[in-house]
Amino acid sequence: MTHQIFPGNRKRAACAAAATILMMVALLLAAGCSTVPGTQNTSFTLLQDKYVFVEHHTSISGELLSGDSGACGPERNLDFPSYSFEKKNGVLSLYGPSETPVNESVKMFYGDGVSLSGVAGYGALTWASPVYLLPHADGNVTLESISGDGTVLLRYNQERILLNPKESRENTTRLTRSLDYNRSCIAEIITSESFYNAGILDKGTIVTR
């Protein structure tokens, strides 16, 4: 049986089809505008025995400019580091009891911390956190995505940073001031803040001490 479409029905059908096409075009345009390389969540699956290590570290050193060196000792001390990472062989060492085991769900480890030297102080305070899902927020750092080669997109203080495997980003500032405990001690405080992406590593190189 042949069904005929009368002019009114034909017009309504054409309008409905046009509306559907316009909606599809709008969705495609919206997707195209929002799809920026590296901004999406992980679009692939890491092998269960692999992970990516990203580190954020702040190093603060102090150089005495004026004052008695005997009286202008370290300003403070920090203790203790809870991890260390060897760039040469990719070994991540975790110190102390590990509350979270390294299992097949771990996609990344994120290391953060600060170290002091010179008259600014001595010692270090560091910690490393496992990452199971992206995006992952830790303080003012958000790990947004990982690409297939281990490239990491992160956001720091609302600034987007794209780190390739084995790539570092560093920013250094210098400030001249008196030390907190002795106003006669004038020092230049040098602060170096860095990000490092170690790339894709074997979970078997993670050591708990």
pLDDT at 156: 95
Determine the Cα–Cα distance for residues 85 and 96; give it in Å rounded to an integer.
15
pLDDT at 63: 96
Q: Taking the complete model, does pTM exceed 0.85, yes or no?
A: no
Which residues pair with residue 116 across a beta bridge? 60, 123
Side-chain-facing half-sphere of 134: CA atoms under 13 Å: 24
Could you tell me the end-to-end alpha-carbon distance of the chain, in angstroms, rounded to an integer?
80
198 close to 55: Cβ distance less than 8 angstroms: yes
Please tell me what DSSP assigns to residue 22.
Answer: H
Determine the Cα–Cα distance for residues 113 and 136; give it in Å rounded to an integer.
17
What are the average pLDDT values for consecutive 10-residue runs of the chain, which has 209 residues? Answer: 39 43 37 35 70 98 94 90 94 79 90 96 94 94 95 94 97 96 94 98 92
Burial 168-178 (b: 16+ CB within 10 A, else e): eeeeeeeeeee
pLDDT at 149: 94
pLDDT at 180: 87
pLDDT at 97: 67
Sequence spans of domains, the chain: 1-35, 50-208
Question: Dihedrals φ, ψ of 120, to 5°?
Answer: -70, -20
Helix ranges, the chain (H) = 7-34
